Each structure stands twice: as structure tokens, then as C-alpha cells.
Amino acid sequence: MKNYIFFGFFLTLFACQFTENKENEELAKGDESIDTSLAIELGEALFFDSMLSLDSSISCSSCHLPEFAFADTARVSKGVHDQFGFRNTPSIFNLKGKPFFFMEGGVENLHRATLGPMLTEEEMSLQAPQLLERIASNEHLHQNFIRAYGEGYEYRDVVDALVQYQLSLKSLDAEWDRYTVSGGDGEWERGRALFNSDSLNCSTCHPAPLFRDDKFHDLGLAHGEPLDYGRGRLTFDSTDYYKFPSPSLRNVALTAPYMHDGSIETLKEVIELYQAGGGPRKPNDLSTTFQLNDQDTQALLRFLESLTGDAAKSAHHRAQSNG
């Protein structure tokens, strides 16, 4: 009798296990069956839709302007209820493979990073239930989400659509890319040589091909108000205070103003900052100063302009000509 009881028990367990495995398979199948192009299309629609913000006043594209390489022209961006952030909005090109996000460097994947502006009170400030309600009440969007993610789509799928769109934003079609692929003499060759030279040493923190090193540096910039500890804000380690990651220089000619706080208006002024060995706070991670004459400065600027992608440049010119 005892044996039969155990047999029955194991049979029940087996049945449960079988059901669980089947569910896992279905989940996996569901993930594979997501139509990436549809997800990108959905993500793009959301990116430009102000329904993502609490008071429907801003969309992602309000701060990540396509005509400025998806960066902002304001020193710091404005969120809902006219609140201002405290850092300059970065470009979101070429995010695939980026090891961390935000200037503290604590967020290791783009899904979590995308939550940042969506949830932060000073930015879009809309929590998950409210956004899902808004999507459900938009029949077209709702149906597209069902097509892409299934009937039971969740908040994570909304975030995923935005992630898929961001990952589709690549900018690897600059003069520099063509030069690298085909060879030849770029008219900015003098600037490239300066950029890579030991005396300027730009390429150490901005190495090709993405021209960022994904490391943190203190450039000695003046403390902002409120005090911004950079990476130290996350680690509480005083050796990390005021260190910020090197941004990519791809499309840098379109992404003014510069630095983490948007405090520098032009690329020429940024070069002057480096010439002076960084900002007023010493010591910092820029140990040396250098001198450039006007010709060298122009050559360096010309090289930096060669990093502007064709598509980004076209979007910029289109927007300019449309006023």
C-alpha cells in the first residue's frame, strides 16, 4: 500500500514538473517570437509620445533631440512641471555593448537605465500602472503591443520596446569611418595626429572606434550647485568624488553644450579647458597642459567634426532648414 501511495505522489510531482517545463518552453518561445522590427516601431512611437510623462508635457525626444544626435541643446533638461535636472543630457547613439549607464556608472543594462527618466520625479515621473492604463486606452498602440508582446504585455515590455528602439540608433557612418575602411588622406589628418599625440593624449580616454573609454575621470571642473559627486554619489568612496565617465565623441560637433553639467558652450572652449590642464580644482586627473596655435586648434576641431555621422548630420540639416 505504501508503495502505491508513493507512486501516486511521484506521479503528481511529475505532472507538476511537466506543466512547469511546458510553461518555461512557452515563455522562451514567446521571447523568441517577439518581432524586433515591430518592437522598434513601437519603441519609436513611444519615444516621441508625450503620454510617457506625468503631465503629458514631454516625451523622450524632448531631451534627446534627433536633430542634435539625440542630445539636448539645453545645459540641463527640463522635466515635468518645469523642473530642471542637474546634468547635461547625453546622446543615445551606439548604446549596444555599453557597459554602464548614467554618470555614476551603477546601472549595467539599458532596460534599467531606461527606467531612469521614465520614473524620476524631475523627469517624466510616470509610474508603471498609469502608463499601462494610458497605453490600454489607445486602441492602436494597445493592439500593436498585443501583436508584439502578446495579450498579457506588461510594463517590462513597454520598456523593452523603448530599449529596442534605442539599440537601433547607430551612428557609424562618419567621414572617419569611411577613411578607416577605405584609407586615403582625410583633410583632417593633422587634427587626427594631434588627437592621438602623446602631448595631447586625447585618444587615451576617447579611443576609437566609439571614442569613449567607459572609465571615470576628474577634470577639475568647479563644483556645481547642488554639489555633484559624480561616481562618488553611488560609491560613497571619496577617491571617486567628481569623477565622470568620458562620453563618446561620435557626433560631438552636434551635442553642445558640453561636460557633465553642460557648462561649456563650444568645442573650442572644451579644447581650451584641456590646454589649461582641466578646471580650477587641482589636482585632478589631467596632469599636463599643452599649447596649440590657432591652426592646430582648427585642425583638431576639423577632426572632431569628421566624427559626425551622415544620418545625424542630415537630421540636423533637415531640422535647420525646416526652421
Partner 1 sequence: MKLAKLALLTLTSLVLFIGCDDDPGEGQLRVNFEMTQDGTPINLNEDYTGDQITAMRVEKLKYYLSDIKLLGANEALKSVEVVDFETGRTSFTFNDVQEGTYSGFSYRLGLSAEQNGSDPLDYETGHPLSASWGLYWSWATKYRFILMEGRGAEDGALDGQGDDFIISMHPGADEFGQAVSFSRSIEIVEGEIRTLTIQIDVDDMFDGPGGLVDLPTENQTHTTPSDRDIALKFIQNFAAAMTLK
Does 12 participate in binding partner 1 (rule CB under 8 A)? yes
107, HSE (Cβ side, Cα atoms, 13 Å):
13
DSSP 8-state code for residue 105? -
Does 280 participate in binding partner 1 (rule CB under 8 A)? no
How far apart, in whole angstroms, are the C-alpha atoms of residue 17 and residue 14?
5
Does 84 participate in binding partner 1 (rule CB under 8 A)? no
Which residues 150-209 are close enough to bind partner 1 by CB under 8 A? 154-156, 159
Near partner 1 by CB under 8 A: residue from 34, 38, 45, 132? 132
In this complex, which beta carbon is closest to partner 1, that of residue 27 or of residue 319?
27
Stretch that binds partner 1, among 125-133, 181-189, 248-256, 258-266 (CB under 8 A): 125-133
Does 121 participate in binding partner 1 (rule CB under 8 A)? yes
Shortest spacing between CB 235 and partner 1, in angstroms: 9
In this complex, which beta carbon is closest to partner 1, that of residue 86 or of residue 179?
86
Q: Are 188 and 197 in contact (CB under 8 A)?
A: no
How far apart, in whole angstroms, are the C-alpha atoms of residue 189 and residue 187?
5
Q: How far is CA 230 from CA 97, 215, 270, in A?
A: 22, 12, 19
Near partner 1 by CB under 8 A: residue from 34, 74, 115, 193? 115
Shortest spacing between CB 156 and partner 1, in angstroms: 4
Q: H or E stretch including 217?
A: strand 216-217
In this complex, which beta carbon is closest to partner 1, that of residue 23 or of residue 108?
108
How far apart, in whole angstroms, are the C-alpha atoms of residue 51 and residue 263?
31
Stretch that binds partner 1, among 61-69, 111-119, 134-142, 208-216 (CB under 8 A): 111-119
Q: How many CB atoms lie within 10 A of CB 188?
A: 23
* Cβ neighbours of residue 313 closer than 8 Å, sequence gap 6 or more: 254
Place of cell 582648427: 298
How far apart, in whole angstroms, are the C-alpha atoms of residue 317 and residue 323?
10
Does 233 participate in binding partner 1 (rule CB under 8 A)? yes
Strands (E), the chain: 216-217, 244-245
Shortest spacing between CB 17 and partner 1, in angstroms: 15
DSSP 8-state code for residue 188? T
Shortest spacing between CB 5 and partner 1, in angstroms: 4
Near partner 1 by CB under 8 A: residue from 34, 107, 208, 292? 107
Helix (H, G, I), strand (E, B) or coil at 66: helix
In this complex, which beta carbon is closest to partner 1, that of residue 130 or of residue 287?
130
CA 265 to chain centre: 21
Near partner 1 by CB under 8 A: residue from 47, 68, 216, 229? 229
Query: By rule CB under 8 A, what string of x and - marks binding of each residue 54-73 to partner 1?
Result: --------------------
How far apart, in whole angstroms, are the C-alpha atoms of residue 246 and residue 9?
60
Q: Nine-digit cell at 26? A: 512557452
Does 236 participate in binding partner 1 (rule CB under 8 A)? yes
Near partner 1 by CB under 8 A: residue from 4, 181, 184, 291? 4
Does 116 participate in binding partner 1 (rule CB under 8 A)? yes
Buried b (16+ CB within 10 A) or exposed e, 297-323: bebbbbbbbbbbbebbbebbeeeeeee
**Which residues in this chain contact partner 1 in the complex, by CB under 8 A?**
4-9, 11-12, 102, 104, 106-108, 111-113, 115-116, 118-121, 125, 127-129, 132, 154-156, 159, 226-227, 229, 232-234, 236, 238, 241
